[in-house]
């Protein structure tokens, strides 16, 4: 399983609870789309996740920016993800970012709004925030391999699944 989280906004802990904490611990790979805030929070994620791939966000301190890239590409289940915290220019800029990286989908954060948008050239996935939802539902995303790609679901820390989606494997999107 791939678990996707973002926008922790912590000072001294990972702020993971309930199903979100379980999903991070169970995942083969955890992707974090930025805004840990402090190095203590980043280190707490490294302790919980088997494998963590992350980018820094606009609120991350200098120590995190020294350790993490602004953007990266991650592969899981035959799907290439371009990962960033945000891009000026909204969905168009995010799609361009994904195309530049030959990605099948883009993972991003920043808005705290759980979103899966497959209406454009490249699907856009924002897991929302598990710890500071800012008026949206607290959430993370879980993705599991299925024939021909990944099946995803948005989950709350309480374990409620409130949306599902599919991501086809490389070469089958678009």
Q: The CATH number of the domain where 6 resides is what?
A: 3.60.21.10
Instruction: Among 9-13, 16-20, 64-68, 87-91, name the one with the lowest average pLDDT.
Output: 87-91
Residue 108 forms part of a structural domain: yes
Region 144-159 average pLDDT: 96
Long-range contacts of 25-29 (CB under 8 A, 24+ apart): 25/49, 26/1, 27/1, 27/2, 27/3, 27/51, 27/142, 28/1, 28/2, 28/76, 29/2, 29/3, 29/53, 29/74, 29/76
| Residue 31 pLDDT level (bands cut at 50, 70, 90) | very high
| Residue 76 pLDDT level (bands cut at 50, 70, 90) | very high
pTM reported for the whole predicted model:
0.96
Q: In what order do the strands lie in the sheet with 140-146?
A: 52-54, 29-32, 2-5, 140-146, 149-155, 161-168
Residue 125 forms part of a structural domain: yes
Residue 174 forms part of a structural domain: no
Region 102-123 average pLDDT: 97
How many structural domains is the chain composed of? 1
- For residue 174, the model assigns a pLDDT of 45
Residue 72 forms part of a structural domain: yes
- For residue 146, the model assigns a pLDDT of 95
Rounded to 5 degrees, what angle do the CA atoms 25, 30, 34 make? 125
Instruction: Among 37-51, 72-86, 95-109, 160-174, name the one with the lowest average pLDDT.
Output: 160-174
Distance CA 54, CA 30 (A): 8
| Residue 9 pLDDT level (bands cut at 50, 70, 90) | very high
Range of the domain at 154: 2-168
């Amino acid at each position: 399983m791939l678990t996707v989280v973002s926008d922790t906004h912590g000072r001294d802990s990972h702020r993971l609870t309930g199903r979100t904490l379980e999903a991070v611990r169970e995942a083969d790979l955890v992707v974090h789309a930025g805004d840990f805030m402090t190095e203590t929070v980043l280190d707490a994620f490294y302790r919980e996740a088997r494998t963590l791939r992350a980018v820094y966000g606009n609120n991350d301190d200098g120590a995190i920016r020294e350790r993490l890239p602004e953007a990266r590409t991650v592969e899981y289940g035959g799907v290439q993800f371009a990962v960033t915290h945000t891009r000026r220019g909204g969905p168009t800029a995010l799609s361009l970012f994904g195309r530049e990286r030959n990605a099948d989908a883009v993972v991003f954060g920043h808005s705290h709004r759980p979103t899966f948008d497959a209406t454009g050239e490249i699907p856009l996935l924002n897991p929302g925030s598990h710890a500071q939802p800012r008026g949206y539902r607290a959430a993370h995303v879980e993705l599991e391999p299925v024939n021909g790609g990944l099946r995803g679901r948005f989950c709350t820390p309480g374990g409620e699944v409130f949306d599902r989606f599919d991501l086809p494997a490389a070469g089958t999107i678009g």
